[in-house]
Structures are given as structure tokens and as C-alpha cells.
């Protein structure tokens, strides 16, 4: 095998609680994570040593993936042929150039981490077709890193198990281990302590991202955990939500949705609350901001209602990006492998 294409799926948080700020500046969290079927496509291709730095012509890139030379143009191609053999070449298409195709890209960092550790001398071509909204609370970068770790492990037959990949993933980002695991999970610590849960009861998921940028740093630095009054911090009952998932009770699970970070974002960006309210008016069983936002998701038990809400939000002005998708159960979980 010298090439593979991977779907790197996004996540939402069904519940997000922040327990405390730690002395190292990170926060201790409790989150219920759920993979959704919105994905970036990543094609990895092994090339001869040095060839990752060579110019690529049309036929060279067609391959079995959805990638042709005509889709490369969105970002400059960045090549690192560091001289000691291994070389990575990355190109990114989609999301209007919001993601750079250089060594800051988490997909790149994931490849570099394994290629250095295992002293891989061949070159690696990575093509990333970015569909997950960027800086949106959907773990787009983390899931790309997870896919590349998985892919490099397979392509170069490194023989790393899931746990070993997760141990490496956390060096790239706190959400990467979860993205390697996928499915429904309870994430604790900074997000790296994971407990697999049974698949959440199926729901249609509507995502709407308002046309604003919210940095994760801004959200956490403005979170006042001790302020039970003014900010109205109400901690979601994560344990009860986990139980609702175990019971397969979509309505109870949705009723228990809560994200303490909304106490920071909604007063500053009321549009987040307005999208949530619109989703509920359209018949969502629950709606909430994902992660540190600004994307809002709504869960629907009825496809017709979900499509109606999709149409409403698409024609309105609250959201700049709207997607309709579902919860995703990874194959390894669905088949019990
Ligand atoms: P999280 O939910 O984990 O907080 P997010 O969805 O809010 O993540 P990302 O889409 O992962 O945020 O992007 C955060 C930043 O990471 C972006 O501003 C971008 O510059 C950088 N980044 C690096 N690599 C990637 C990548 N492959 N895809 C998206 N963003 C990336």
C-alpha cells in the first residue's frame, strides 16, 4: 500500500463543563464528546526519498483519491526536505485559505512526529481537503492530526496500537486522543482522559456557524468560574447525561445538554444565542454551542424538521455556514472490532 484516503470527522460536545483552572494554566474539563459525519478528506501518499520536494504534474497527483492537480491551487504548497531524508509535502484545499499548508498545520505536525520517531526516509505527500469549518469548536485541526497519525501508522506499518497513537497525539493537542478514539466518549482532565461510552441515541445534527471569529484563548481567559451570579454559571450534570446515553434516551440526553463556555460567548456574541433559539423554534430537541464556539448545533429526532431548520438558517443572516449531518459511529465500534 502506498496511498490511502481518510475521512477525518469533526466532533461536537454534547456537554462541556469546566471544573477548575490548573496551576499550569490549563483547565480541568468534563466533556461528553460525539463524532459527527462532517469530515475533511486526507490523502497520504508515500513517495521516493526526495520526491516529496519535486514538482508535481497533473497525472502524478490524480491517484485513487478525489484529488487532481486542478484542486491544488487554494494554498501554496509547502515542502520541507530537511536534508536528512524524510520530506513532507502538504497542500490544502478549501475553507478559503484559513488553514496554512505549512509546518503549523496539525496534519503536518502529526506526520513529522511519527516520521522523525521512526526515522522514515521516504517522502510523504499529504493532500487535505478542508470541509470542517475552521476555529469553530469542531476540532477540525485535531481530527486531521488524528487521521494522519492513523494513516502514517498504516502506510509505514509501524504497528502502533490505539493507545500508543493516543499517547503521541496528546503531544499535538488535547483533543487528538479523542479524535483517534472517535464515537461517544467522556473526556476528562484537559480532554485526554477518555472513557468510551455506548453510542449515543441517533439524531440528525444541524450545524450553523455565525460569521464571527472566537478564539479559544479569549473564551477561557474570560471564564469566571467562581462567579455564580453575574455570569450565571450553571454546571451541566455530566454524570446524568452519561446515564441518559447509557439508557439510550435522546430526549433526556438533550435536556441535559449544557456548555459553561456559553456564559462567556453569548453575552459578547448574542448571535450564538439567537441561532440556538431559532433551532429550538424549528423543533430541535436540544441546541447548544460546541466547544469554545462559535458553531451552534441542534439535535433533531425528525429529518423533516431538521431540513426545515436547515432551509431557515441557510436563507437567514445569522449563520454563514450551515450543514446537516448525523452522529457517526466508527466502524470499529459498530462492528465490535
Ligand atoms: P477545538 O474544537 O479543538 O478547539 P477548533 O475547531 O476550535 O478546535 P480548529 O479548526 O482545529 O479549531 O482550528 C484552530 C486553529 O488551528 C486554526 O486557527 C488554525 O490556524 C490551526 N490549524 C492548524 N492545523 C489545522 C488544520 N489541519 N485544520 C484546521 N485548523 C488548523
Per-residue pLDDT tens digits of the chain, which is 337 residues long: 799 999 999 999 999 999 999 999 889 999 999 999 999 999 999 998 655 544 333 333 322 222 222 223 344 445 554 444 458 999 999 887 789 898 999 999 999 999 999 999 999 999 999 999 999 999 999 999 999 999 999 999 999 999 999 999 999 999 999 999 999 999 999 998 999 999 999 999 999 999 999 999 999 999 988 755 545 688 999 999 999 999 999 999 999 999 999 999 999 999 999 999 999 999 999 999 999 999 999 999 999 999 999 999 999 999 999 999 999 988 877 777 6
Which protein residue's CA is at the shortest distance from atom 3 of ligand 1? 139
Cβ proximity of 185 and 308 under 8 Å = no
Whether 175 is catalytic is yes
pLDDT for res 65: 27
Catalytic residue among 11, 130, 209, 305: 11
Q: How far is the CA of 137 from the centre of ligand 1 (A)?
A: 8
Cβ proximity of 183 and 28 under 8 Å = no
Among the atoms of ligand 1, which is closest to the Cα of residue 128? 27
**Reduced 3-state DSSP string for the chain:** CCEEEEEEEEEEEEEEEEEEECCCCCEEEEEEEEEEEEEEEEEEEEECCCHHHCCCCHHHHHCCCCCCHHHHHHCCCEEEECCCCCEEEEEEECHHHCCCCCCCCHHHHHHHHHHHHCCCCCEEEEEEECCCCCCCCCCHHHHHHHHHHHHHHHHCCCCCCHHHHHHHHCCCCCCHHHHHHCCEEEEEECCCEEEECCCCCCCEEEEEECCCCCCHHHHHHCCCCCCCCCCCCCCCCHHHHHHHHHCCCHHHHHHCCEECCHHHHHHHCHHHHHHHHHHHHCCCCEEEECCCCCCEEEEECCHHHHHHHHHHHHHCCCCCEEEEEEECCCHHHHCCC
Please state the φ and ψ torsions of residue 21, each to the nearest 5 degrees.
Answer: -90, 135
Q: How far is the CA of 249 from the centre of ligand 1 (A)?
A: 32
Whether 11 is catalytic is yes
> Measured from the CB, is residue 99 less than 6 Å from ligand 1?
yes
Catalytic residue among 17, 74, 175, 209: 175
Strands 123-129 vs 87-93: parallel, antiparallel or unpaired: parallel
Among the atoms of ligand 1, which is closest to the Cα of residue 106? 24
Model-level pTM? 0.89
Strands 123-129 vs 27-47: parallel, antiparallel or unpaired: antiparallel
> Measured from the CB, is residue 106 less than 6 Å from ligand 1?
yes
Amino acid at each position: 500500500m502506498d496511498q490511502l484516503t481518510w475521512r477525518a470527522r469533526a466532533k461536537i460536545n454534547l456537554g462541556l463543563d469546566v471544573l477548575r483552572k490548573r496551576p499550569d494554566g490549563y483547565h480541568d474539563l468534563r466533556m461528553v464528546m460525539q463524532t459527527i459525519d462532517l469530515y475533511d478528506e486526507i490523502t497520504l501518499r508515500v513517495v521516493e526519498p526526495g520526491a516529496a520536494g519535486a514538482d508535481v504534474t497533473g497525472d502524478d497527483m490524480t491517484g485513487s483519491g478525489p484529488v487532481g492537480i486542478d484542486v491544488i491551487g487554494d494554498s501554496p504548497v509547502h515542502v520541507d526536505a530537511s536534508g536528512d531524508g524524510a520530506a513532507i509535502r502538504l497542500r490544502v484545499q478549501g475553507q478559503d485559505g484559513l488553514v496554512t499548508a505549512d509546518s503549523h498545520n496539525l496534519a503536518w505536525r502529526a506526520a513529522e512526529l511519527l516520521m522523525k520517531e521512526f526515522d522514515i526516509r521516504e517522502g510523504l505527500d499529504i493532500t487535505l481537503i478542508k470541509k470542517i469549518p475552521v476555529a469553530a469548536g469542531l476540532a477540525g485541526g485535531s481530527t486531521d492530526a488524528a487521521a494522519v497519525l492513523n494513516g502514517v501508522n498504516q502506510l509505514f506499518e509501524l504497528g502502533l496500537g490505539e493507545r500508543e497513537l493516543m499517547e503521541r497525539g496528546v503531544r499535538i493537542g488535547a483533543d487528538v486522543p479523542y479524535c483517534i478514539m472517535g464515537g461517544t466518549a467522556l473526556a476528562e482532565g484537559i480532554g485526554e482522559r477518555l472513557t468510551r461510552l455506548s453510542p449515543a441515541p441517533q439524531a440528525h445534527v444541524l450545524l450553523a456557524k455565525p460569521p464571527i471569529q472566537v478564539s479559544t484563548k479569549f473564551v477561557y481567559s474570560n471564564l469566571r468560574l467562581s462567579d455564580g451570579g453575574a455570569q450565571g454559571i450553571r454546571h451541566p450534570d455530566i454524570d446524568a447525561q452519561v446515564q441518559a446515553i447509557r439508557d439510550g434516551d435522546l430526549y433526556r440526553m438533550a435536556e441535559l445538554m449544557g456548555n459553561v463556555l456559553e456564559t462567556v460567548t453569548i453575552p459578547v456574541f448574542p448571535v450564538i444565542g439567537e441561532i440556538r433559539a431559532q433551532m429550538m423554534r424549528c423543533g430541535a430537541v436540544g441546541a447548544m454551542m460546541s466547544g469554545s464556539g462559535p458553531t451552534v448545533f441542534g439535535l433533531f429526532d425528525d429529518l423533516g424538521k431538521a431540513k426545515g431548520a436547515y432551509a431557515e438558517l441557510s436563507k437567514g443572516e445569522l449563520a454563514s455556514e450551515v450543514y446537516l449531518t448525523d452522529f457517526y459511529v466508527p466502524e470499529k465500534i459498530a462492528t465490535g472490532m
